[in-house]
A and B are shown apart, each in its own frame.
Chain A
């Protein structure tokens, strides 16, 4: 099973749900990797969504593409990376009409970034459905250099931009679609604990 139960945390940390079919004129579904399984579950609940669905999918090395295509969505796009899909995503959101339902599923980084695009297009974050699937990796912003490190799996980790050793906070910014990373050895330079896999 690709679902993970995140521990209780602070109030800025996003909470994800389970995608459910909602009435709408159009359905925009954005997923990466195992997020495909949540879309398959959604289609199993209400196959009629697909006639008005646009699926944007980033496989990240998984092979769910054929199964998603077999759902016969009105539009299907498979991209090599989230970044590669962003222009398309913005275009779709800019041309969206009232009654659009947005479904986001997969990794936190994918959901956070796509949610941010939808918010900038005027869709309140509270009306966007999300479901976490697959990797629990985090998208981290270094509070010092402001650089983003994608797919962080350990705490602490090394900022991919400035090289500082950062600890992983649960404090989360929707605007940046990232958690905050803060220097772990500022008060004792060089004393960096052995990196530990997140949630272990």
Chain B
């Protein structure tokens, strides 16, 4: 399939949109009518054809515009991409992983030609054709991690593993749900998750760490996480919170369907071969409430999840003030019928909305 790339923005006039194709493959994160934290990890070895789980690094219609937005964020604030000095080898590992994966999974879009250490990388959507020497930083315009993650959707955290612990020692972070790489770089797994409520007490992070430390080469894993964002803003960073925070107050009953977005992170985890580091891509997908409501099952379920979410979680995810307005909107799409298990839309088998 050839992807038609959208011409769109994630700031100012917010011309971002999802096609019908993108809505139906949206990674809806709730497999049942309620939500609580869990490690919810599964193997990342493909998924249904056409779904966001199928490829190792999903490329979709937003690719070109997202990469343009990333370049703008980096121009404004180069500290969004940092790598501590011992992480360069892991950067090369990551470059190799992404180039090999993309050229195998999307041969019509990406090509990698290797002759020993002489590599030629062709990225057709972005118009890049570069020849360089693998493991020689002087032959690339950026460090290896920055070079390849300027061409890959989603944030990337590269975690060093030592002393039975993971350390946030490098990353490219421009589409984050309100955390700062510049502040958190160098922290261990428990420290960078410190501000998350409830999950520490539930033992979530201890179990997750144990799992992640044991991820093996060739056996990546994935999970979903989610939050809410007003306007399709990728850069919901703490750095710029004093600029975008006010947008949360612009919701009205009239515009909530188009302005309020469910923000889903497809998080995956890959062991890197030379460095033994772990790369943690965090891919952000946005979908407006009104687009989500075109899938009857998701309409019913989203209402129930948002309604029943514990106050601490709604506060941490930053929508406690807007929750009543969200519920007024979502309630119209919940007719009380049961929903099928699992995250997929099940459009053929789920009944249409029976509420006027």
Contacts and interface: CB of A to CB of B under 8 A. Distances in A.
Interface of A: 10-13, 141, 143-144, 146, 164, 169-171, 173-176, 180, 182-183, 186-189
Interface stretch (B21-29, B95-103, B187-195): B187-195
Nearest to B321: A187
Given A171-B183, A173-B183, A176-B183, A12 B192 contact: yes
A187 B245 contact: yes
B274 interface: no
Nearest to B247: A187
B187 A182 contact: no
B185 interface: yes
Interface residues of B, number: 27
Given A143-B183, A171-B183, A187 B246 contact: yes
B180 A143 contact: yes
A188 B241 CA distance: 12
Contacts, number: 64
Nearest to B245: A186
Interface centre among B183, B239, B321, by most A CB within 10 Å? Answer: B183
B248 interface: yes
B187 A173 contact: yes
Interface of B: 79, 180, 182-187, 190-195, 200, 238-246, 248-249, 321
Contacts of A170: 194
B187 A189 contact: no
Given A13-B194, A188-B249, A182 B241 contact: yes
A118 B252 CA distance: 53
A141 B180 CA distance: 12
Given A141-B183, A180-B180, A187-B246, A171 B195 contact: yes
A54 B1 CA distance: 70
A175 B168 CA distance: 12
